[in-house]
Amino acid sequence: MKSITLTQFLTEERRAGYGSTDLTQLLEVVARACKRIGVATGKGALGGVLGEAGSDNVQGEAQKKLDVLSNEILLDANAWGGHLAACASEEMADPQPIPDAYPKGGYLLLFDPLDGSSNIDVNIAVGTIFSVLRRPQGHRQDVSVNEFLQPGTQQVAAGYVVYGPSTLLVLTLGHGTHVFTLDREVGSFILTRRDATIPEETSEFAVNMSNQRYWEPPMQRYVDDLLAGKEGPRERDFNMRWVASMVADVHRILTRGGIFSYPLDSKIAAKGGKLRLMYEANPMAFIVEQAGGAASTGRGRIMDLQPEALHQRVPVFLGSKAEVETAERYHLDA
């Protein structure tokens, strides 16, 4: 069977009426930048990029050297193409406009440059998550934060890249979720799974059990019932998986089903949740929904939320549709 490269796939999508020339070129730039991040990640200790950077990000979290490097790679790669008006990153307090020396386009790019970076030093899969929005009509020359504050339903594309045993790009343009594998010998992403589908039912769940004592009562009951197995109200055994790298956990769910949960707990209640709506929850929700899954805060659809701040956090339940709906019922019936 003839290999279909990312470039060919995006070109065919555009001809079918999905996306634009600028969007195609933007996604190719992001993919090239992620290949560079993958190379740096793959060198590990040989590249001198392991360990702490000695700085904190906007959330007050210690940055890894690769956090900083990955952020710079994505910013530099997207500065000059003419497809973007501005970028926003989990690692930066404010959006970064395209430099005045370059033309500005009609899209906005948001990204988590290196999700799961706490796992870098122990050689566990990490990744990049990104989301693309159209810049609102009638915009001024300068880009405001408010232009980024669009609900997830307004995304025109979203994706993630997993840097693991193989480097995978998972992408949606709003009609299906597709998986590409990096052929390192030729340097191209090749389509290896078209229209990925998440099984509706599952017997696997992913959650950080160390936070159990801080969870809300509905979450406590939900997990207690999962752990009760065949003898409990769910009447079947569940397996737990937890990588602590969202891209790795979500990709497992995309591949074989499951539910990923990062619920609200008393430690993070004041922040509204753990995961960032704009950089993690919305793009992952878009990808999962396009694969037939569901994504909820526990009390409503993630992508229906109207963002209130660039670094807003939310609870997250996503994955197999029936199981996400079950988890949501526990919270809504409380």
DSSP 6-47: HHHHHHHHHHTTSS-HHHHHHHHHHHHHHHHHHHHHHHGGGG
Which of 41-55, 221-235, 244-258 comes out lowest in average pLDDT?
Answer: 41-55
* pTM of the predicted model over 0.85: yes
117 appears as a binding residue in the annotation: yes
The length of the chain, given as a count of residues: 334
Q: What per-residue string of b and e applies to 22-56 under the rule 16 or more CB within 10 Å gives b?
A: bbbbbbbbbbebbbebbebbeeeeeeebbeebeee
Q: Encode 122-148 in three state secondary structure.
A: HCCCEEEEEEEEECCCCCCCCCCHHHH
For residues 102 and 113, the answer to whether their CB atoms sit within 8 Å is no
What average pLDDT score do residues 230-235 get? 97
Query: Is 216 marked within a binding site?
Result: no
**What is the residue type of 69?**
L
Q: Match domain 4-194 to its CATH number in 3.30.540.10, 3.30.1180.10, 2.30.30.40, 3.40.50.720.
A: 3.30.540.10
What mean pLDDT value characterizes the chain? 92
pLDDT higher than 60, residue 58: no
2 labelled binding-site residue:
no
Q: Is the pLDDT of residue 51 over 90?
A: no
CA 186 to CA 232: how far, in whole Å?
52
Quick one: tokens of 288? 């999962």
Q: Helix (H, G, I), strand (E, B), or coil: what is residue 121?
A: helix
66 appears as a binding residue in the annotation:
no
Percent of the chain scored above 70 by pLDDT? 93
Q: Is the dihedral of CA 309, 313, 318, 322 positive or negative?
A: negative
Name which of 59-68, 124-133, 199-208, 272-281 the model is least confident about: 59-68
Average pLDDT over residues 19-34: 95
The pLDDT, as a whole number, for residue 312 is 98
Q: In 3D, which of 307, 300, 304, 296 has the Cα closest to residue 261? A: 296
Q: What is the pLDDT of residues 159-193, one digit of tens each?
A: 999 999 999 999 999 999 999 999 999 999 999 99
pLDDT at position 119 is 80
The answer on whether 118 is annotated among ligand-binding residues is yes
- Mean pLDDT along residues 145-159: 97
3-state secondary structure of 296: strand
Phi, psi of 54 (to 5 degrees): 80, 20
pLDDT at 63: 55
75-93 pLDDT, tens digit each: 999 998 889 999 999 999 9
Q: Are 236 and 203 in contact (CB under 8 A)?
A: yes
60 marked among binding-site residues: no
Domain 204-333 CATH (choose: 2.30.42.10, 3.40.190.80, 3.40.50.2300, 3.40.50.300): 3.40.190.80
List of residues 6+ apart from 12 with CB closer than 8 A:
none
Q: Tell whether residue 274 is among the known ligand binding residues.
A: yes
Residue spans in the chain of domains classed CATH 3.40.190.80: 204-333
Note the pLDDT of residue 142.
Answer: 83
**For tokens 């807003």, what's the residue?**
312
Task: Count Cβ neighbours within 10 Å for each residue of 263-300 and write b for 16 or more, e otherwise.
Answer: bbbeebeeebbbbbbbbbbbbbbbbbbbbbbbbbbbee
Q: Is 147 assigned a ligand-binding role in the annotation?
A: no
Any known ligand binding at 56? no
3-state secondary structure of 330: helix
pLDDT at position 162 is 97
| Closest to 30 (Cα-Cα) out of 100, 106, 109 | 109
Q: Is the pLDDT of residue 280 over 90?
A: yes
Q: Is 114 known to sit in a ligand binding site?
A: yes
Lowest mean pLDDT among 92-101, 113-122, 149-158, 174-183: 113-122
**Contact (CB, 8 A) for 277 and 302:** yes
Instruction: Give the burial class of 203: count Cβ atoms within 10 A of its Cβ; 0-12 exposed, 13-18 middle, 19 or more buried.
Output: middle
139, two tokens: 């915009």
Give the residue range(s) of CATH 3.30.540.10 domains in the chain. 4-194
Judge whether 143 and 108 are in contact, CB under 8 Å: yes
Closest CA to 30 of 71, 70, 77: 77
